[in-house]
Chain A
Amino acid sequence: MNIFNYVREIINYHELVANIALRDIKIRYKQSVLGILWAILQPVAMMVVFTIIFSYFIKIPSDHIPYPIFSYTALLPWTFFATSLSFAVPSIISNINLVTKIYFPREIFPVASVLAALFDFCISAIIFLVMFCFYRMPVTVNIFYLMPLLAIQVIFILGVVLFASAVNVYYRDVRYVMPFIIQLWMYLSPVIYPISIIPGRLKILYMLNPMATIIDGYRRVLLLGKPPDLFFLTLAGGISLLTFVLSYHFFKKIEMTFADVI
């Protein structure tokens, strides 16, 4: 079976994917007072703290963009990435009852977790729209670059979570090391600082991280009205696709052993 058949199969199961994503969204906010506001609260709180620390206490350059919207533009895709990982990685073992009893493609669990995180992403984007109008940011034709940016991001996230969630079935260590990795990864991505502070020699190495290109891309398109760096966008797209294909193959290869190992 090749990757296209896998994708076709998962599309066949779109109702189940949607229902599990919906379940994940609903249960996350049921019986909590703030409910859906939690999705907004997390990036907004980070933005407030970052703004106080990094634009008042420590002056970090932000390419002449007001720091709140500068950091929020990065926190939005970053939170999407981090939430996806923290929900998708344990998703197979937390559905142990289903995994050992009934067959459907197992990637449905991590994929649904990513969808649920995408939902949060859309909710917190409302705050972005408000800030976008407040700071009177320019709207240019480059806004259409949002689509390939989001697409590359989703493909990259899927690639990472398919691999990590499968390995997590065998080694529960993965779940514990995940928060640590996510934190390190954030410092290695231009969330707090602009990409312009990376020295030229290190830049190509730095940009091997697709999240760097993606976050920088969102900033250029939304805040500077410029297109993303097309070279790095192509590189990020290539790396993301490669990650996705390899992870998906890996996932499908060991999928049938999940019920025995879990």
Chain B
Amino acid sequence: MRENKIVQLTDVSKMYYLGQMGYRTLREDLLNLFRGRKTEERHFWALKNVSFDLGKGESVGIIGANGAGKSTILKILAGVTRPTSGIVEKRGKVGALIELTAGFHSELTGRENIYLYGSIIGLRKEYINRLFDAIVDFSGLSQFLDTPIKRYSSGMLARLGFSVIAHLDLDILLIDEVLSVGDFVFQSKCIGKMLEYKEKGVSIIFVSHNTDSIRKLCKRVILLGNGKVEFDGDVEEGINKYYILYSRAKVETQKSVPAIELVKKSLKNSLGQAVTVVETGEQLCLELNLNAKSELKETYFALFIRHSNGMIVFDTSSDLLNREKYDFAPGQLISLKYEFSANLLNGNYLVGVNIAGSGADSSPEYLFYDNNLFSFKVIDHISHQGIANLNPKCLVEPRE
């Protein structure tokens, strides 16, 4: 491992036998033994030749769809399971910020759980004693300390767990999707604590679906897809790629014969130039040439703009705008034009279109769906905070 690195994975692969994925019963195994046949060894690779390293004090986010291999990586780093092949090197003490309630027991009080959870994540009793007040303080739960935690809300549980974790002394911190619980104030408190860790030189590996918290914590992101590293680099680029990958997966699950074929697409500014970077407020035009493969009835066209964190910023539809639905004959060419202004702030946005019509029994039927026809970046030179540009004006003048 190189000098300045603290974690290094080299060609790490992990294979699971599908038969081994759950426990077996003795009966099945005995039967197989009598038949002289081995259990069918179907297997799949949860990770395939994954390599990356992490410097001291560096933090990296790991994103990817469910089943992409994120938790397998965490398990391997936490030492819970061994890779099938490849080398895992770690330097220093690894702490895992696991599902916060995993180490808790509901019948025990908050106080008892602090000690139990603390020792599970490797804290000495004497160390917890010393930090007890700080832990309780951070959690803000001092008045519920002697209440069994089964009476706690899920937010309170998360606070309790994180407060213990937040006082760990370690070199590498693994975080697994824990910030989704707890109220807003506590979430930002957690992020603050993690930034504090980062400043102390702790390396952080952060697995999350919440791209917003990843952005706050990491400059670098690793995108996993089907057990492979699809991307390793700048966080914005990675998150964009993630949404692209994700939307593709979604389209593939659609009907094999689409009712509408996309012939041509373009996203242009008011000067008719194709754009990927736009100024805030700029007028944009999305143009699609479509081909109706079959007869379409009562068709309408929805446009939606999504922020790269997944949030829908704007969603409209032709039947709302024009109060009309359209019918098309088979083979009919359709031109769809959507004009809109990018009253948005700094960030990456995805343009998606969804076309629906009425099916055989006049229930709505989706004919076409693509949530990532285009992606564009908005530049706002004033650097407002938020998503929408409300074109603010501010007047301040002294009065008599």
Interface residue? A101 (CB, 8 A):
yes
Q: Which of A23, A172, A256 is B116 in contact with, Cβ under 8 Å?
A: A23
Give chain B interface residues in 25-77, CB to chain A under 8 Å: 25-27, 29, 75
How many Å lie between the Cα of A172 and that of B105 in the bound state? Answer: 23
In the complex, the answer to whether A260 meets B16 with C-beta atoms within 8 Å is: yes
Interface residue? A204 (CB, 8 A):
no
- Find the residue from A22, A102, A169, A171 having the highest chain B CB count within 10 A: A102
How many Å lie between the Cα of A65 and that of B103 in the bound state? Answer: 49
Interface residue? A183 (CB, 8 A):
no
Please indicate the chain A residues that have their CB under 8 angstroms from the CB of B278 in the complex.
none
Give chain A interface residues in 70-100, CB to chain B under 8 Å: 93, 97-100
In the complex, the answer to whether A172 meets B16 with C-beta atoms within 8 Å is: no
In the complex, the answer to whether B78 meets A103 with C-beta atoms within 8 Å is: yes
Given contacts A99-B80, A259-B75, A260-B20, contact A27 B108 (CB under 8 A): yes
Q: Which of B23, B82, B122, B125 is A172 in contact with, Cβ under 8 Å?
A: B23
How many Å lie between the Cα of A16 and that of B99 in the bound state? Answer: 19
Q: Which of A22, A31, A103 is B80 in contact with, Cβ under 8 Å?
A: A103
Interface residue? B24 (CB, 8 A):
yes
Interface residue? A59 (CB, 8 A):
no
Q: Which of B22, B26, B99 is A101 in contact with, Cβ under 8 Å?
A: B99
Give chain A interface residues in 245-262, CB to chain B under 8 Å: 256-257, 259-262
In the complex, the answer to whether A101 meets B78 with C-beta atoms within 8 Å is: yes
Give chain B interface residues in 95-136, CB to chain A under 8 Å: 96, 98-99, 101-103, 105, 107-108, 112, 115-116, 119-122, 124-125
Q: Which of A19, A27, A101 is B115 in contact with, Cβ under 8 Å?
A: A19
Size class of the contact patch on chain A: 20 to 34
Convert A24-35 into 0s and 1s, putting 1 for each residue whose CB lies closer than 8 angstroms to a CB of B: 001100110000
Q: Which of B24, B75, B102 is A98 in contact with, Cβ under 8 Å?
A: B102
Interface residue? B81 (CB, 8 A):
yes
How many Å lie between the Cα of A23 and that of B103 in the bound state? Answer: 11
**B126, closest chain A residue (CB):** A15
In the complex, the answer to whether B23 meets A259 with C-beta atoms within 8 Å is: no
In the complex, the answer to whether B80 meets A173 with C-beta atoms within 8 Å is: no
How many Å lie between the Cα of A98 and that of B103 in the bound state? Answer: 6
Q: Which of B22, B24, B81, B176 is A256 in contact with, Cβ under 8 Å?
A: B81
Interface of chain A, main secondary structure: helix
In the complex, the answer to whether B26 meets A171 with C-beta atoms within 8 Å is: yes
In the complex, the answer to whether B82 meets A171 with C-beta atoms within 8 Å is: no
Please indicate the chain B residues that have their CB under 8 angstroms from the CB of A15 in the complex.
119, 124-125
Please indicate the chain B residues that have their CB under 8 angstroms from the CB of A171 in the complex.
23-26, 29
Nearest chain A CB to B259 CB, angstrom units: 44
- Find the residue from A16, A26, A101 having the highest chain B CB count within 10 A: A101
Given contacts A26-B107, A27-B105, A102-B96, contact A173 B79 (CB under 8 A): no
How many Å lie between the Cα of A98 and that of B96 in the bound state? Answer: 11
Given contacts A26-B107, A100-B80, A259-B81, contact A172 B25 (CB under 8 A): yes
**B128, closest chain A residue (CB):** A15
How many Å lie between the Cα of A27 and that of B176 in the bound state? Answer: 28
In the complex, the answer to whether A256 meets B108 with C-beta atoms within 8 Å is: no
We find that the number of chain B residues with CB closer than 8 angstroms to chain A is 36
**A172, closest chain B residue (CB):** B23
Give chain B interface residues in 323-382, CB to chain A under 8 Å: none
Interface residue? A144 (CB, 8 A):
no
Give chain A interface residues in 1-41, CB to chain B under 8 Å: 15-16, 19-20, 22-23, 26-27, 30-31
Nearest chain A CB to B164 CB, angstrom units: 13
How many Å lie between the Cα of A261 and that of B176 in the bound state? Answer: 21
Q: Which of B21, B75, B101 is A100 in contact with, Cβ under 8 Å?
A: B75
In the complex, the answer to whether A256 meets B23 with C-beta atoms within 8 Å is: no
Convert A167-178 into 0s and 1s, putting 1 for each residue whose CB lies closer than 8 angstroms to a CB of B: 001111100000
Interface residue? A104 (CB, 8 A):
yes
Please indicate the chain A residues that have their CB under 8 angstroms from the CB of B26 in the complex.
171, 173
In the complex, the answer to whether B120 meets A260 with C-beta atoms within 8 Å is: no
In the complex, the answer to whether B82 meets A256 with C-beta atoms within 8 Å is: yes
- Find the residue from A22, A23, A170, A172 having the highest chain B CB count within 10 A: A23
Please indicate the chain A residues that have their CB under 8 angstroms from the CB of B98 in the complex.
101-102
Please indicate the chain A residues that have their CB under 8 angstroms from the CB of B115 in the complex.
19
**B115, closest chain A residue (CB):** A19
How many Å lie between the Cα of A93 and that of B119 in the bound state? Answer: 20
In the complex, the answer to whether B75 meets A169 with C-beta atoms within 8 Å is: no
- Find the residue from A99, A257, A260 having the highest chain B CB count within 10 A: A260
How many Å lie between the Cα of A143 and that of B24 in the bound state? Answer: 47
Give chain B interface residues in 7-27, CB to chain A under 8 Å: 16, 20-27
**B22, closest chain A residue (CB):** A261
A residues bordering B, Cβ < 8 Å?
A: 15-16, 19-20, 22-23, 26-27, 30-31, 93, 97-104, 169-173, 256-257, 259-262
B residues bordering A, Cβ < 8 Å?
A: 16, 20-27, 29, 75, 78-82, 96, 98-99, 101-103, 105, 107-108, 112, 115-116, 119-122, 124-125, 148, 176
Q: Which 6 A-B pairs have the closest CB atoms?
A: A97-B102, A103-B79, A101-B98, A173-B26, A19-B119, A259-B80
Residue contacts A-B, CB under 8 angstroms, 30 given: A15-B119, A15-B125, A19-B119, A20-B116, A23-B108, A23-B112, A26-B107, A26-B108, A30-B148, A97-B102, A97-B103, A98-B120, A101-B80, A102-B96, A104-B120, A104-B122, A170-B23, A170-B24, A171-B26, A172-B23, A172-B25, A173-B25, A173-B26, A173-B27, A256-B82, A257-B81, A260-B20, A260-B21, A260-B81, A261-B21
